[in-house]
């Protein structure tokens, strides 16, 4: 398939040696070393106009531009250029897909150039780590010890380890979210922890912990005991509100097995969470995936059959307006079939106007453009499935140069 040439990181395992020839992220300068007819842009464009032109390029092309000459390198490395870059929303989110092996090495998909790039994430050590992203930053947390927590920019490789979060040293379920301010470039990281009350399957201790990058401190604004519900691993911060999915533990026999909780991070509500902030899901779901698209909460969910709720019959996309869900799209059957054997759970994340959906059991990646109402497959993933039980996973992030942890 055309459009698969990209770059791959320097250190890959043997499983990627059969994918052909790829250039690395850092080797983009090779193209700038080729002899080409010289055209002096210094005689044509002033710096401010050249800056604006370069700022509209895809992120991969900006790297290439920085290798053309010293002047262009100085421009794309300058603080003024990075500031102007933050004012433009030209970069589309990438999707990083990896196999569930010992090393979480994988490829990132660029929807503008429709290419896969080999990339190594700093701090990302094992595939079972929790991930969350906002604008140019990605947050990782060790899901086992829940003590290691990092924020990084995968493009610039900047990485920072956060102080250990408070609360229970280990919880049964944790949901991670991050929100970056485009104006101040500060960020908040939230963790929703859920642990079963000893000897009582229906009651779960739930706590919310929030990190502020400006103060570099954690706060615990809420602790509560839920009856008939527990937290999970799905959350997102959208327009200052923390949303997370909760799951029925029985007892109360709710209409659905899933529910949504909205917690305003500025309200400091300390009790009565379900009574005040519970939002019903739009239908019987096999699973739900939350994401923030232009400060709107969007959910991608597997639609269960009425008589067999564990069996997925389709995938829908909803946007939350107040406390009401509006369905904006449903995956066409031909794409649903295109995944082959599709489990009731799947990976999905998005940003800006793009939503990515992938099956854990196959490297196929489907892209939905919310603005254009258009579905399409990505270019073929560079690594094929090598054995029946091999699993794939992934997450979305925005490639940006101007944000630092």
Which range is least confidently modeled, 245-254, 320-329, 342-351? Answer: 245-254
CA atoms within 13 A on the CB side of 38: 4
Q: Which of 19-23, 117-121, 371-375 has the highest mean pLDDT?
A: 371-375
Instruction: Estimate the share of the chain in helix, then strand, then coil, as percent rounded to the nearest 5.
Output: 15, 40, 45
Instruction: Report yes or no on 131 lying in a domain.
Output: yes
Strand partners, 207: 193, 223
pLDDT for 40 equals 60
Q: What is the token pair recorded at 400?
A: 């940006």
- Strand ranges (DSSP E) for 265-403? 278-280, 285-293, 296-304, 312-321, 324-330, 347-351, 354-358, 365-369, 374-377, 392-397
DSSP 198: T
Is 273 inside any structural domain? yes
Domain assignment present for residue 90? The answer is no
Q: What are phi and psi of 306, to 5 degrees?
A: -60, -40
pLDDT tens for residues 97-128? Answer: 988 666 667 899 999 889 998 888 777 777 77
**Is residue 261 assigned to a domain?**
yes
Residue 260 placed within a domain: yes
Weakest mean pLDDT among 52-56, 100-104, 130-134, 138-142? 100-104
The CA–CA distances, whole Å, from 88 to 50, 113, 274, 294 equal 15, 18, 39, 14
pLDDT at res. 19: 32
How many domains does one find in the chain? 1
CA dihedral 272, 273, 274, 277 (to 10 degrees): 120
Residue 39 has pLDDT above 70, yes or no: no
List, in order, residues 6 or more apart from 320 with CB less than 8 Å away: 260, 279, 296, 297, 298, 299, 326
pLDDT at 30 over 60: no
Domain range holding 146?
127-280
In a domain, 294, yes or no: no
At 185 the three-state DSSP class reads coil
- Rounded Cα gap, residues 237 and 43, in angstroms: 47
Residue 156 covered by a domain: yes
Is 210 within a domain? yes
CB 347 within 8 A of CB 360: yes
Alpha helices (H) in 272-368, listed in sequence order:
273-277, 333-338
pTM value is 0.84
């Amino acid at each position: 398939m055309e459009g698969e040439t990209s770059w791959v990181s320097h250190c890959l395992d043997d499983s990627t040696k059969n994918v052909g020839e790829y250039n690395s992220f850092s080797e983009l300068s090779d193209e700038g070393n080729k002899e080409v007819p010289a055209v002096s842009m210094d005689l044509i464009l002033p710096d401010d106009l050249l800056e604006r032109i370069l700022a509209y390029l895809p992120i991969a092309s900006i790297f290439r531009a920085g290798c053309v000459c010293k002047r262009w390198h100085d421009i794309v490395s300058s603080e003024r250029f990075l500031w102007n870059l933050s004012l433009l929303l030209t970069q589309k989110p990438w999707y990083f897909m990896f196999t569930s092996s010992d090393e979480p090495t994988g490829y990132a998909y660029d929807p503008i150039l429709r290419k896969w790039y080999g990339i190594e994430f700093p701090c990302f050590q094992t595939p079972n780590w929790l991930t969350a992203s906002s604008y140019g930053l990605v947050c990782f947390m060790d899901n086992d010890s829940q003590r290691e927590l990092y924020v990084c920019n995968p493009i610039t490789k900047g990485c920072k380890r956060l102080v250990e979060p408070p609360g229970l040293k280990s919880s049964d379920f944790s949901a991670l979210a991050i929100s970056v301010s485009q104006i101040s470039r500060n960020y908040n990281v939230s963790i929703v922890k859920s642990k079963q009350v000893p000897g009582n399957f229906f009651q779960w201790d739930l706590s919310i912990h929030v990190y502020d990058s400006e103060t570099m401190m954690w706060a615990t604004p809420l602790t509560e005991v839920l009856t008939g519900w527990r937290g999970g691993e799905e959350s997102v911060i959208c327009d200052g509100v923390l949303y997370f999915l909760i799951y029925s533990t029985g007892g109360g026999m709710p209409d659905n097995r899933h529910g949504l909780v909205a917690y305003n991070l500025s309200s400091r509500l300390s009790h009565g969470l379900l009574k005040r902030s519970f939002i019903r899901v739009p239908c019987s779901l096999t699973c739900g995936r939350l994401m923030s698209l232009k400060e709107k909460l969007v959910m991608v969910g597997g639609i269960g059959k009425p008589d067999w709720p564990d069996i997925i019959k389709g995938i829908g996309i909803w946007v939350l307006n107040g406390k009401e869900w509006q369905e904006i799209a449903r995956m066409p059957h031909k794409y649903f079939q295109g995944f082959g054997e599709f489990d009731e759970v799947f990976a999905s994340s998005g940003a800006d106007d793009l939503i990515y959906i992938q099956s854990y059991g196959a490297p196929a990646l489907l892209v939905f453009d919310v603005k254009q109402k258009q579905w399409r497959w990505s270019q073929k993933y560079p690594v094929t499935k090598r054995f029946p039980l091999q699993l794939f996973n992934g997450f979305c992030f925005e490639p940006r140069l101007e944000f630092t942890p």
